[in-house]
Structure 1
Amino acid sequence: MSIKVIIAGPRGRMGSEAIKMVTKEKSLQLVGCIDRKNNGKTLQEIELTTFVDLNEYRDVPIYENPSECFERVEADIFIDLTIPDVGFMNTKLAIQHKIRSVVGTSGFTQEQLNELSNLAKSNNVGCIIAPNFAIGAVLMMQFSKMAAKYFPDIEIIEKHHDQKVDAPSGTAIKTLDLIQESRENKNQGHPDETEIIKGSRGGDVSGMRIHSIRLPGLVAHQEVVFGGKSELLTIKHDSFNRDSFMEGVKLAIDSVMEKNELIYGLENILEF
């Protein structure tokens, strides 16, 4: 039996890649899309960022109102790859309609995550939220956590396309969270360090520095630089195409079908 999927943000770069992935997977069936416009149209009537051979999915309906979509379309999985505020409301509604969710939207606040977690538990519905669905990026974060125990002087440089609205990225924040599990707080650099231009040294989290770069031509990139006595360790990951995230999305779909709670971070469903 196919897993029936609704996707939010079909015209976006990530949304188009998700549609491409779902339509190619024999175990998945695309049954609906949520878009901020194009209500009442079908998938064949809108322009996708990525070319997709729609075949039997040409007549998949599009809804502007997520509640209407969840009420009218029978689905097992909801995939949201939009923006934080929209993604939060969409996911909240999906859980309330007993639809399991896979969410790649970064930028949720801790309060929003707590609310979604409580909602998932009360509705006995699984939900996986991942700041990054690239398997290599998840490994990069785990390796950084391991290294931080031995190299407490750390700077993070994350680079994304110029249309990304949140900074630092969800991946960088998740990396910081993991690092703090194994690193003792430490103020790095010279105690009398002065910024001639405010913000030059980046953000400060427990003494670590984090820098966000936004430029056209980039997709998603991060390096974590560890300084030690006479040595430097750099752990780096690059996503050159949004297709790199789809293996993680597929993994999350398969996993969330067996879950009845919210899971934050793809590392929690990987085997190490």
Structure 2
Amino acid sequence: MTNLALAGATGWTGRAIALGALAAPDVNLKTAIARSSAGRDLGAALGVDDLGVPVFATVEEALDGVDVLVEFTSHAAAKAVALAAIERGVAVVIGSSGLTAADFAEIDAAARTAGVGAVASGNFSLTAAMMLAGAELAARHLTHWEIIDYAKSTKPDAPSGTSFELAERLAEVGAPQVDLPVDQVAGHPSARGATIAGSQIHSVRLPSFIVSTEIVFGGEDERLSIRHDAGGTAQPYVNGVLLAVRRARGHVGLIRGLDRLLLNDEGAREDSTL
């Protein structure tokens, strides 16, 4: 049985993860962190019957007897939340987007020093993880690509965590070929998007989108598009988060990308349900 603390438990994603963890036979949701609901039972905070899960204002208060902390807070708080758990010897699963490569390097170093595991992913949907794995395979054989990410008009960070993670992963394969360097574009070079880890990313922010990520590969007289579209609920992230919770204590240091757990873990099929 894995004892779990959940930071951001009353948020849009946190609520779905809380209910998913409560239904999982091998996970015990022991505590929750949500400053606005501190001192209440999580059930009362979510508008359901009492769940026997106390809500605390800070991470430090919520870690007694906890094996893994899951964080779905904000890009501003995520690193501090993760480091606070790691310093207490608690493994972490990081769900907030907006962290930088330097942030992840710091988290990895702290986890290795503490001898605990960490898992981070820009998107905990199993199908999004498969998109990333497919894009990495395609990039080994195709030389031109660009990334487009779509999200709601009020999303506070750009690019999305999914597209950022995708660009960084593809950088491990190699840089795409750019036939006309962006700094040589006439007019407004910024219209070519942001260069992230060598890839051009174009962030579209409009009402009606949740989070969608598309990578377009171009070849001679042909194109390949791989796209993931998220629906209107947080349910697709639950199975991926629970998979990460179950695997977080099986290693030391940070693993970035849910697909790496799916591809490298023979038990992943038993833990995952599409």
Deviations 1:84-107 (A, max 9, x none): 221111111111111111111122
- Which of 195, 200, 215 aligns to 2:206? It is 215
1:230 aligns with 2:229: no
Give the whole-Å Cα distance in 2 for the aligned partners of 1:87 and 1:178. Answer: 21
> What is the CA-CA distance between 1:149 and the residue it aligns to?
3.3
The match for 1:263 is 255
Residues 132 and 138, structure 1, Cα contact 8 Å, conserved in 2: yes
Distance in structure 2 (CA, Å) of the matches to 1:218 and 1:16 = 20
Q: In the alignment, which residue of structure 1 is the partner of 2:272? A: none
Matched letter for residue 68 of structure 1: E
**Which piece of structure 1 moves more, 58-67 or 144-153?**
144-153
In structure 2, relative to structure 1, the CA distance for the partners of 1:195 and 1:23 (3 Å cut) is farther
Kept after mapping to 1: 8 A contact 2:144/2:176: no
Residues 39, 64 of structure 1: 8 Å contact kept: yes
1:69 matches 2:58: no
Give the aligned partner of residue 268 of structure 2: none
How large is the RMSD of aligned CA atoms in angstroms? 2.2
Return the TM-score normalized by structure 1: 0.88
Does the alignment pair 1:137 with 2:136? Answer: no
Tell me, yes or no, if structure 1 residue 161 matches structure 2 residue 146: no
**Other-structure match for 2:238:** 246
Q: Percent identity?
A: 27
Matches within 5 A, 1:105-116: 105-116=96-107
Greater Cα shift, 26-35 or 107-116 = 107-116
* Structure 1 equivalent of residue 26 of structure 2: 27
Hey, what's the Cα distance between the residues in 2 that align with 1:109 and 1:5? 26
* TM-score, scaled relative to structure 2: 0.87
1:145-156 to 2 correspondences below 5 Å = 145-156=136-147
How far apart are the structure 2 equivalents of 1:14 and 1:148?
31
Query: Is 1:91 equivalent to 2:91 in the alignment?
Result: no
Gap runs ≥5 in structure 1: none
Deviations 1:73-93 (A, max 9, x none): 321111101112211111111
Is the Cα contact below 8 Å between 1:187 and 1:206 reproduced in 2?
no
| Residue 114 (structure 1) shift | 1.9
Question: In the aligned structure 2, how far is the partner of 1:207 from the partner of 1:95?
Answer: 31
**Structure 1 residue 263, shift from structure 2 partner:** 1.4
Contact 2:145 2:217 in 1 (8 A): yes
Is the Cα–Cα contact under 8 Å of residues 69 and 92 in structure 2 kept in the other structure?
Answer: yes
Letter in 2 for 1:117: D
In structure 2, the residue corresponding to 1:105 is in which secondary structure?
coil
**1:184 Cα offset (Å):** 4.2
Name the CA shift for 1:61/1:233 in 2 (closer, same or farther; >3 Å): same
What are the within-5 Å matches in structure 2 for residues 49-64 of structure 1?
58-64=51-57
Q: CA 1:141–1:188 in structure 2 vs 1: closer, same or farther (change >3 Å)? A: farther
For 2:32, give the aligned amino acid. C
In structure 1, what is the equivalent of residue 119 of structure 2? 128
Residues 164 and 196, structure 2, Cα contact 8 Å, conserved in 1: no
**Is 1:16–2:21 an aligned residue pair?**
no
8 Å Cα contact 1:80-1:102 kept in structure 2? yes
Q: Which SS does the other structure have where 2:147 is aligned?
A: strand
- Deviation at residue 233 of structure 1 after TM alignment: 0.8
Q: When the two structures are aligned, how many residues end up with a matched partner? A: 262
| Structure 2 residue ranges without an equivalent (≥5) | 265-274
**Shift of residue 186, structure 1, vs aligned partner:** 2.5
Partner Cα separation in structure 1 for residue 218 and residue 160 of structure 2: 22
